[in-house]
Amino acid sequence: MGSVQGTKRGIASGVRATIINTSIVASIPLVLAVMTTDIPYYRLINIIGNVNTLSNSQITTTDLAPLLMATTFQFPVVGGLNVNVSCEVSCRRMQLL
């Protein structure tokens, strides 16, 4: 916020909050889409939480191995996206200076 004029800080704060909230909402389907490459969608929904089931234990030992495999696949993909965006932001800051 230090780079924004004092009269425009309210607008900048609102834009920043909107972008953060949009990215949070958009990340959930993105994570599910990437994880379904390793684990079937119907199993993933049962692991995350199916509102139609009444049991408290929704994850079984047979679902644990595919979930761990999908998770270990997910972390490098999301990490790569974060590194890419960080590099792009750094390059843009260098151009502004």
pLDDT tens track for 82-94: 888 888 888 887 7
Domain assignment of residue 19, yes or no: no
Domain assignment of residue 21, yes or no: no
Domain assignment of residue 47, yes or no: yes
pTM of structure? 0.45
At 33-59, the pLDDT tens digits run 777 777 777 777 766 666 665 455 566
| Residue 65 identity (one-letter amino acid) | A
Domain assignment of residue 60, yes or no: yes
At 1-26, the pLDDT tens digits run 667 788 888 888 888 899 889 988 88
Domain assignment of residue 15, yes or no: no
Backbone angles phi, psi at 69, to 5 degrees: -65, -40
Domain that holds residue 45: 29-96
| Total number of domains constituting the chain | 1
Angle of CA points 43, 44, 49, to nearest 5°: 100
- Distance CA(39)–CA(41), nearest Å, equals 6
The arithmetic mean of pLDDT across residues 30-34, rounded, is 78
Domain assignment of residue 17, yes or no: no
- Residue 43 has a pLDDT of 74
